[in-house]
């Protein structure tokens, strides 16, 4: 299936906020996302969709500060999971980082999220610390780190 990855648009936001709740259990909220897209040069939002029907597949938000980046709110919606779209999105994100000369990348992931941990490890990310009781349900977060060029 042909896919496209593009910048998030204001017209995507209400759909994104809805899927954030379904996929992540929380959302920054429509107003905050809108403000980030319009005014915040540190945040970049990308959407993956099918090329033909423009069906929403997933999204990511990236926090960029000079040569450092953080991957936030990354997901592929349920119907499209396990079909290599996460990998395609990660390939895009990693190429994007290289194109803007990012050197260090961090992300947080739930201790129990083996699928995401496997995916990130396949790109060379390593767990560098655990943040205890990080999530509202008391679950620990793993902080993962990648130095680009060392993978």
Q: Which residues bind ligand COA (CB under 6 A)?
A: 23, 74-76, 81-87, 109, 113-116, 118-119, 122
**In angstroms, what is the minimal distance from the CB of 56 to ligand COA?**
12
The catalytic residue among 104, 108, 123, 135 is: 108
Of 36 and 59, CB closest to ligand COA: 59
**In angstroms, what is the minimal distance from the CB of 38 to ligand COA?**
25
Separation CA 44–CA 60 (nearest Å): 8
What does the DSSP 8-state code read for residue 42?
T
4 carries an active-site annotation: no
The catalytic residue among 19, 45, 75, 120 is: 120
Label residue 50 exposed, middle or buried (CB < 10 Å: 0-12, 13-18, 19+): middle
66 carries an active-site annotation: no
Of 26 and 66, CB closest to ligand COA: 26
**In angstroms, what is the minimal distance from the CB of 57 to ligand COA?**
9
Separation CA 141–CA 151 (nearest Å): 22
Cβ neighbours, 10 Å, residue 53: 8
Closest CA to 47 of 9, 5, 76: 5
Of 122 and 132, CB closest to ligand COA: 122
Contact by Cβ (8 Å): 24, 75: yes
Of 1 and 115, CB closest to ligand COA: 115
Alpha helices in the chain (DSSP H): 13-24, 30-39, 85-99, 114-122
**In angstroms, what is the minimal distance from the CB of 37 to ligand COA?**
21
Residues catalogued as catalytic: 108, 120
């Amino acid at each position: 299936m042909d896919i496209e990855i593009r910048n998030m648009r204001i017209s995507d936001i209400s759909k994104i906020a809805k899927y954030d709740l379904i996929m992540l259990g929380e959302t920054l909220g429509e107003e905050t996302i809108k403000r980030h897209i319009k005014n915040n040069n540190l945040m970049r939002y990308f959407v993956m969709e099918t090329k033909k029907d423009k069906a929403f597949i997933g999204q990511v938000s990236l926090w960029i500060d000079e040569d450092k980046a953080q991957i936030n709110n990354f997901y592929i919606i349920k119907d499209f999971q396990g079909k290599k779209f996460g990998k395609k999105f990660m390939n895009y994100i990693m190429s994007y980082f290289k194109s803007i000369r990012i050197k260090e990348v961090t992300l947080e992931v739930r201790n129990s999220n083996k699928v995401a941990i496997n995916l990130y490890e396949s790109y060379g990310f390593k767990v560098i610390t655990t943040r205890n009781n990080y999530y509202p349900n008391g679950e620990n977060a793993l902080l993962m780190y990648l130095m680009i060029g060392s993978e």
